[in-house]
Amino acid sequence: MATATVSGSKYDARALREKYLAERDKRLRRDGEAQYLEAAGDFADFVEDPYVEPGFTRDAIVEDVDLLIVGGGFGGLLTAAEAVKRGIDSFRIVELAGDFGGTWYWNRYPGVRCDIEAYIYMPLIEEVGTVPTERYAVGGEIFEHARAIGRHFGLYDHALFQTKVERMAWDEAAGRWIVETSRGDTIRARFVSVSQGPLAKVKLPGIPGIREFKGRMFHSARWDYAYTGGDPSGGLTGLAGKTVGIIGTGATAVQIAPKVAPYAKRLYIFQRTPSAVDIRDNSTTDADWLKHQPSGWQRERMENFLAIVSGAHVDRNLVNDRWGDLWMRFGELMQTEFQAGGALTPGDMMQRADYEKMEAIRRRVAETIDDPEQAARLMPWYNFLCKRPLYSDEYLPVFNRPNVSLIDTDGRGVERLTENGLVANDQEFAVDLIIFATGFDVGAPPHKVGEYEVTGRRGITLDDKWRHLRTLHGTQFSGFPNLHVVGGTAQGTTAFNFTHTLLMQAEHAVDIVGWCLAHGVKAMEVTPEAEERWHDLIEAKHVDHQQFYEECTPGFLNNEGNFRDKPTYIGGTYGGGPLEYEQIIREWRRDRIQDDTVVTPLD
């Protein structure tokens, strides 16, 4: 057997690879993403808004605006803030929820917290003056910051909450998007920017019996505190004497379980694939340090983090947290190999760094869990980047509690629900409450997330467009003048810190809108030639992760194991990485905006 020794950590590389593949094989399933149910139609009650008073009504609005922003999460807020900064004041924000905040409005489950450092995740903290209390902020604080952005930039006056866009269509003669909403509004907008967010479309497991269960159940993104008692910080006294089942062990469940465990009589955690849970090491903010940061520090810190996780060389690692650990290990290995005159490729080195990282994660499980058999069941066997990395110092110790049972299904998952509870491993577990921590349809296009149709020139819909996807920068589309996507990942980009992606694309969209308004543009449409060039670049820059993802355990990053059915260079992100992407879109605005677009002047 081949043995590799890295930084004092011994492992058998060939045996590990075989183990990873065997664990993947257990989990591969033909139905892939189709295994999940949309929380719509018969399951629409799972996504009702528990945070608003029922019965809200208002008069319908008919109005003309320069800019309509769809979505009031950070994407929409950053777009609106940019508009205000540039003196664009004729804009409207339409938001389904009862307030700003997006994912932080909906996700109020106990323990909710952002695992990207608050100083880079919470955008505009310099402008707004927010001081995050901790390095990794709780959800409520991030939600409050979203609201503070709303107040700071006067955005509440522009918002229509509890309002859903139903459809939008381009009116050629008027040079406007005609947008209709669930409240009977008609908004005639010169420009539209959509920010639907990647975590908005709730997923349920497509298992039989969901409607048979007689107890209480909800998705983590719609927590029912009336039932559980308490609030996001804990105190779930309503669970006293109750048996609770959590389906899922992803980023959300890892935060929920430690809050539920102290209050429930019994907690069953149903595991299909163990998560790789790294160290959190949170700390309170040194307000003095924050106060003495020079102007522009946040952007610099965001860019530094992005450089680290993009594998770029930096002189200083400003954030220096566990997100960068894999890349720092990789950098060290590369340097050692280079100095030794070795012949290993960066790919080989990355795999070594990954094995080493995952060994450390598995060692942590062994060191934390009292029962070795239980520890073995909690160990993840896949490459670190096969699943979204998780960080928690509270999750693993939960399994040492006498009232918590890990129900490891060895890759099969919960099979069905019954009147009394859940069936897994051919055994029924009676429970009072089921929490679906089963995630979101992460890759859905914006109009699918928002459940509205967009009809552009010549009657072409965004849905048609998506079938044969062509975009410019993942944010503009030929056939759809004056339409922008903020948060566009398909042929766009994604930074690990998602608000950074939003910031760069919001600046891009509003810069273009501002240019059009200043130049008397009625309609600006990117040309099919520009889209083809972008498509060619996407292909040319495509980093072939085919083998890597094929060997991964299934998850939303590899189309639930059906990676071949969905080539990522078409619907994936720009292969040159987010740093290069940001430079490209900046330069495009400076040098190419007129070459790559067809412009119709105002009458």
Using CB under 6 A, pick the residue from 215, 439, 446, 575 that binds ligand NDP.
Answer: 439
Q: Which is nearer to ligand NDP, 391 or 534 (CB)?
A: 391
DSSP secondary structure string for all residues of 479-492? TBTTEEESS-TTTT
Regarding 130 and contact with ligand NDP (CB under 6 A), the answer is: no
Regarding 29 and contact with ligand NDP (CB under 6 A), the answer is: no
# of chain residues touching ligand NDP (CB under 6 A)? 27
Residue 169, beta-bridge partner list: 178, 455
Burial class (CB in 10 A: 0-12, 13-18, 19+), 209: middle
Regarding 114 and contact with ligand NDP (CB under 6 A), the answer is: yes
Q: Which is nearer to ligand NDP, 252 or 597 (CB)?
A: 252
Regarding 481 and contact with ligand NDP (CB under 6 A), the answer is: no
Q: Which helix (H) or strand (E) holds 312?
A: none
CB of 589 to ligand NDP, least distance (A): 29
Q: Which is nearer to ligand NDP, 490 or 512 (CB)?
A: 490
Regarding 67 and contact with ligand NDP (CB under 6 A), the answer is: no
Regarding 307 and contact with ligand NDP (CB under 6 A), the answer is: no
Neighbouring residues of 524: CB distance < 8 A, sequence distance ≥ 6: 481, 482, 512, 516, 597, 598, 599, 600
Regarding 414 and contact with ligand NDP (CB under 6 A), the answer is: yes
Q: Which is nearer to ligand NDP, 162 or 489 (CB)?
A: 489
164-172, 267-275, 310-318, 506-514 -> range binding ligand NDP (CB under 6 A): 267-275
Q: How many separate helices (H) and strands (E) can be counted in the chain?
A: 20, 24
Q: Which is nearer to ligand NDP, 175 or 578 (CB)?
A: 578
70-78, 372-380, 432-440, 572-580 -> range binding ligand NDP (CB under 6 A): 432-440
Q: Which of residues 381-400 bind ligand NDP (CB under 6 A)?
A: 388
Using CB under 6 A, pick the residue from 264, 350, 437, 513 that binds ligand NDP.
Answer: 437
Token pair recorded at residue 480: 């759809």
In angstroms, rounded to a whole number, what is the distance separating the alpha carbons of residues 36 and 274?
19
In angstroms, rounded to a whole number, what is the distance separating the alpha carbons of residues 175 and 110?
47
251-259, 335-343, 489-497, 536-544 -> range binding ligand NDP (CB under 6 A): 251-259
Q: Which of residues 197-226 bind ligand NDP (CB under 6 A)?
A: 199, 205, 207
Regarding 122 and contact with ligand NDP (CB under 6 A), the answer is: no
Regarding 249 and contact with ligand NDP (CB under 6 A), the answer is: yes
Q: Which of residues 548-577 bind ligand NDP (CB under 6 A)?
A: 555-556
280 to 116, 255, 391: CA distances (angstroms)? 10, 12, 5
Q: What are the b/e assignments for 379-404, b being 16+ CB within 10 Å?
A: bbbbbbbbbbbbbbeebbebbeeeeb
Regarding 270 and contact with ligand NDP (CB under 6 A), the answer is: yes
- Give which of 490, 488, 504 is closest to 570, Cα–Cα: 490
Q: Which is nearer to ligand NDP, 416 or 541 (CB)?
A: 416
Q: Positive or negative, the Cα torsion across 438, 76, 499, 453? A: positive
Regarding 109 and contact with ligand NDP (CB under 6 A), the answer is: no
Q: Which helix (H) or strand (E) holds 324?
A: none
CB of 539 to ligand NDP, least distance (A): 27
Q: Which is nearer to ligand NDP, 116 or 149 (CB)?
A: 116
Regarding 250 and contact with ligand NDP (CB under 6 A), the answer is: yes
Q: Which is nearer to ligand NDP, 97 or 257 (CB)?
A: 257
Q: What are the b/e assignments for 188-201, b being 16+ CB within 10 Å?
A: bbbbbbbbbbbbbb
CB of 44 to ligand NDP, least distance (A): 19
Contact 132/119 with Cβ under 8 angstroms? Answer: yes
- Give which of 336, 65, 359 is closest to 187, Cα–Cα: 65
Q: Which residue has the tokens 């979101």?
A: 440
In angstroms, rounded to a whole number, what is the distance separating the alpha carbons of residues 180 and 190?
14
CB of 137 to ligand NDP, least distance (A): 10
Regarding 248 and contact with ligand NDP (CB under 6 A), the answer is: yes
Contact 56/62 with Cβ under 8 angstroms? Answer: no
Regarding 440 and contact with ligand NDP (CB under 6 A), the answer is: yes
Using CB under 6 A, pick the residue from 66, 115, 325, 432 that binds ligand NDP.
Answer: 115
109-117, 288-296, 336-344, 544-552 -> range binding ligand NDP (CB under 6 A): 109-117
CB of 45 to ligand NDP, least distance (A): 19
In angstroms, rounded to a whole number, what is the distance separating the alpha carbons of residues 452 and 456?
13
DSSP secondary structure string for all residues of 420-480? SEEEETTEEEE-SEEEE---B-TT--HHHHHT-EEE-GGG-BHHHHHHT---BTTTBBTTB
Regarding 413 and contact with ligand NDP (CB under 6 A), the answer is: yes
CB of 28 to ligand NDP, least distance (A): 11
Neighbouring residues of 318: CB distance < 8 A, sequence distance ≥ 6: 300, 301, 304, 305
Q: Which is nearer to ligand NDP, 100 or 395 (CB)?
A: 395
Token pair recorded at residue 216: 């209480």
Regarding 449 and contact with ligand NDP (CB under 6 A), the answer is: no
Map residue 203 onto helix, strand or coil.
Answer: strand
In angstroms, rounded to a whole number, what is the distance separating the alpha carbons of residues 289 and 280?
21
Q: Which of residues 330-369 bind ligand NDP (CB under 6 A)?
A: none
Regarding 380 and contact with ligand NDP (CB under 6 A), the answer is: no
In angstroms, rounded to a whole number, what is the distance separating the alpha carbons of residues 474 and 306?
19
Q: Footprint of ligand NDP on this chain (CB under 6 A)?
A: 113-116, 199, 205, 207, 247-253, 255, 270, 272-273, 388, 413-414, 437-440, 555-556
